[in-house]
Amino acid sequence: MKRSDWLTAEGILYTDQYQLTMAQLYYRMGLHEKWAQFDYFFRSYPNYGSHRAGYCINAGLEWLVDWMLEVRFRDEDLEYLRGQVGRTGRRLFADDFLEWLRENGHFGAITLQAIPEGRVVHPNVPLVVVQGPLAMAQILETSLLNHLNYQTLIATKASRIRESGRGRLLLEFGLRRAQDKAAIAGARAALIGGADFTSNVGISHVLGYPPKGTHAHSMVQVFMALGEGELGAFRAYAEVYPDDCLLLVDTINTLESGIPNAIRVFEELRRKGHEPVGIRLDSGDLAYLSIQAARMLDEAGFPNTVIVLSNQLDELTIWEIITQIQREAPRYGVDPDRLINRLVYGVGTRLITSEGAPALDGVYKLVAVRDGGQWIPAIKISETPEKTLNPGYKKVWRLYDRRGKATADLLSLEDEDPRQMDPVVLRHPTDHTAFRVLPRSEITEIEPLLVDILRDGHLVYEFPTIEEIRQQRQDDLERLDAGVKRLINPQTYHVSLTERLWNLKQELIRKAH
């Protein structure tokens, strides 16, 4: 695509056609400026096939808001709509509606609350609450979902991978296998979720991060083709980057060629007064090879070099590698904990695409319409009880137990404050027999989660830096039960309704039937 076309493809037309046909219908029926509320939430944690997440890391909000503040219907967009025809060749969009869009086709009347980026979040909890004129709040749907679903998905995957690697350095390498431009938002989300750096230069520049990377197999191949071999390639690398020398050792044969050649070059470097950084393993049995590499590097006098692992890593593979090292390293005289602490993980495809679960099932649902000065809660019934909406204008609270751990998220009506309740009653969202009664004394903190982001289209929030978001994630993870953080078969975190919200939901279900 030509660059000039990106403004069209990524502007306000970055939406589904049905949002526009519905908007015109609302206009025609005089409903377009009626106030409506939509909740954004996801229904289930990403399920990667053999395992599923027990929590998510919220991400994507800042870029969504950037988009909302920048786009509006341009003349060119309106011309395009003017040219659209229906089945019989008649125009689909009428002039009066297009004139309305020319004046009002932006997000300047939208009020938006959200749970901040980097926070641990759970299913069926409104992560974003949008209020505004029905037509524009409706048109917003598609782009909002697109911006938020993916970054939350990737931040979640990154957090799991970081946990599996015991907090050791994690590098995001996915640009080449990412789903097209998702690479950019994906790298940001990976940083939020737990990656320390990315190989992606452009987004590193934008976010003010140093990108990471050294060399590929092709560099070794060039020197081989020119008759200078792997050793020649390594020597050249050490010469150009004497203080940042990290060598990829698996182009020919890791144990017989790569590591011995690397050690030779490291010795030459040291004689010149430089300390090498380490090696990278990109194929074969990474657990076995890293044990052998550690042994060889230790014996050669380079116990402080790092060993970077890459090649189809994800949280389970890293966990398996660590388990295997713990079992096998002692047999080769290698201290497993020392080895695990010198590992660095370069993670590509399986992080940036969230392999196994390539989409978060986030939805944006109408929960209330204002009529005659009053919010009327809206509902959608489903044959699957879990998919029946939690209606109305709600607040979201997180309850912490005596250990200071998060014990539940609680949805309440807008005029309720569980901080004033004793005891706090937690109703299961669908199972009427399941509830908990918590005396206030067992709750150390009740924290409101939604914050004001846009008020009538004006930004009333200062976006945190990526570092601050990372810190938020860290803080939230520390206050999350270990069982919920398990990589496989995690404990279920409770998301509950207050008594009054539960009653409202039942009443609306009865009415709809």
Q: Does 359 bind its own copies (CB under 8 A)?
A: yes
- Residues 333-352 touching its own copies, rule: CB under 8 A, are 349
Q: How far apart are CA 41 and CA 394, in angstroms?
A: 13
For CA atoms 249, 253, 259, 265, the dihedral sign is negative
- Residues 124-163 touching its own copies, rule: CB under 8 A, are 134, 138, 141-142, 145-147, 149-151, 153
The kind and range of the H/E element at 345 are: strand 343-347
Q: Is 51 helix (H, G, I), strand (E, B) or coil?
A: coil
Q: Does 3 bind its own copies (CB under 8 A)?
A: yes
Nearest to 157 by CA among 364, 349, 362: 349
Non-local CB neighbours of 237 within 8 Å, separated by 6+ positions: 214, 215, 219, 245, 247, 265
Question: Which one of 166, 201, 303, 333 is in contact with its own copies (CB under 8 A)?
Answer: 201
Q: Does 462 bind its own copies (CB under 8 A)?
A: no
Choose the binding region for its own copies from 15-23, 105-113, 261-269, 397-405 (rule: CB under 8 A). Answer: 15-23
Nearest to 56 by CA among 359, 393, 394, 464: 359
Question: Which one of 17, 444, 471, 492 is in contact with its own copies (CB under 8 A)?
Answer: 17
Non-local CB neighbours of 276 within 8 Å, separated by 6+ positions: 238, 245, 246, 247, 262, 265, 266, 269, 270, 302, 305
Q: Does 260 bind its own copies (CB under 8 A)?
A: no
Choose the binding region for its own copies from 315-323, 324-332, 366-374, 454-462 (rule: CB under 8 A). Answer: 366-374
In whole angstroms, how close is the CB of 470 to its own copies at the nearest point? 18
Question: Which one of 41, 55, 100, 173 is in contact with its own copies (CB under 8 A)?
Answer: 173
Question: Which one of 114, 161, 183, 293 is in contact with its own copies (CB under 8 A)?
Answer: 183
In whole angstroms, how close is the CB of 344 to its own copies at the nearest point? 13
- Residues 261-290 touching its own copies, rule: CB under 8 A, are 277, 283-284
Nearest to 173 by CA among 407, 421, 303, 344: 344
∠ Cα 82 86 91 (to 5°): 30
Q: Does 214 bind its own copies (CB under 8 A)?
A: yes
User: Of the two residues 205 and 458, which places its CB atom closer to its own copies in the complex?
Assistant: 205
Non-local CB neighbours of 287 within 8 Å, separated by 6+ positions: 320, 321, 324, 325, 328
In whole angstroms, how close is the CB of 473 to its own copies at the nearest point? 20
Question: Which one of 61, 185, 291, 410 is in contact with its own copies (CB under 8 A)?
Answer: 185
User: Of the two residues 430 and 474, which places its CB atom closer to its own copies in the complex?
Assistant: 430
198 burial via Cβ count (<10 Å: 0-12, 13-18, 19+): buried
- Residues 26-45 touching its own copies, rule: CB under 8 A, are 26, 28-29, 31, 36, 38
Q: How far apart are CA 177 and CA 182, in angstroms?
A: 10
Q: Does 300 bind its own copies (CB under 8 A)?
A: no
Q: Does 111 bind its own copies (CB under 8 A)?
A: no
Q: Would you state the torsion angle of the CA atoms of residues 137, 140, 141, 147, taken in this order, to the nearest 10 degrees?
A: -140
- Residues 223-252 touching its own copies, rule: CB under 8 A, are 224-226, 236-237, 239-241, 243-244, 251-252
Q: Is 455 helix (H, G, I), strand (E, B) or coil?
A: strand
- Residues 48-107 touching its own copies, rule: CB under 8 A, are 49, 63, 66, 70, 77, 80, 84-88, 90, 92
